[in-house]
Amino acid sequence: MPKIIANNYEMYYEVDDFTDPWKQAETIWIQHGFGRNLNFWHHWIPLLAHKLRVIRRDMRGHGQSADPGPEHQWSAEELLLDMKGFLDALGLDQVHYLGESIGGTLGIAFAVRWPERLKSLTLVSAPTSIPPRVQKMFSLGYEDWPTALGKLGSGGWARKLMESGGGLTGGNPAHSEWVIEQWGHIPTHVLQGLCRAVPTVDVAPLLSQIKVPTLILAPANSAFEPLKGQVAMRDAIPGARIAVIDGRGHEIYVDQAEACAAAVLKFVDSLR
């Protein structure tokens, strides 16, 4: 299995490359968001991997990457160093980066701090912060978000969020159960630690400093990330482009994968 040590931490990743072997393929790194793993993006491989070398990585504590333990103190700084260390360990000088949800939030900070490492930045349903309104939605009637996770467990929390009409997309009963099962594999303390750290992050002040070519894939109907916020993000990033995706909700990368991937390929092609 492809695992690598980066930032003194064991990370799991997968590479898919169906590009012409006689050509020099560019690399796109797809980074999932909170509570997900690289398997959530498997349906993108046929859409991208004939044009780009696709790398997917499990975030710290997610999927098959190592669990840092229940006493671990999570921070955005550490997650950013994980990202840089990952590129360094793989010997990748530059990549196209695609980040979903908090994977996009971290991508914004990364692009400002290490712009030389990114050929482009694509943000999928990415917030600049998780405001109190959304944290309350994630609390699902409990005292707060970490308490809800502790009471319900990772999979139970995902199920209740899905049933409440929240941002998790299943599409059909079998898919929904698969999504809940995947969430259930993540130790609850991982999600609690992350959800305590992430709400303290606000990358909105960094948007005007982004110099990397940027595409925003904006959900038209997200309960968590209103379209007007995505448009405001586009306006704040110099030269940024936006593609509004008319999906069922927040997870446009699931139910509108073809439209999203087509926009990404068009964007990358325009940079050559």
Most distant pair of Cα atoms in the chain: their distance = 57
Domain presence at residue 167: no
In a domain, 171, yes or no: no
Residue 13 lies in a domain: yes
In a domain, 84, yes or no: yes
Torsions phi, psi for 189 (to 5 deg): -65, -25
Tell me how many domains the chain contains.
1
Give residue 60's identity as a one-letter amino acid code: R
* Predicted pLDDT at 172: 81
The Cα 3–Cα 133 span in angstroms is 37
Cα 261 from Cα 48, distance rounded (Å):
7
In this prediction, residue 73 has a pLDDT band, given cuts at 50, 70 and 90, of very high
Q: Is residue 156 a part of any domain in this protein?
A: no
Q: What's the alpha-carbon Rg for the chain, to the nearest Å?
A: 17
Classify residue 257: in a domain, yes or no: yes
What does the block give as tokens for 191?
A: 């999600």
Residue 144 located in a structural domain: no
Q: What is the pLDDT of residues 122-145, one digit of tens each?
A: 999 999 999 999 999 999 999 999
Token match 């997610």: residue? Answer: 62
Average pLDDT over residues 113-129: 97
158 falls within a domain: no
CATH number at residue 234: 3.40.50.1820
Give the CA angle between residues 137, 139, 140 to the nearest 5°: 75
Residue 171 has pLDDT above 90, yes or no: no
| Domain span at 97 | 3-131+202-270
- For the record, the structure tokens of 96 come out as 């196209």
CA 109 to chain centroid, in Å, comes to: 13
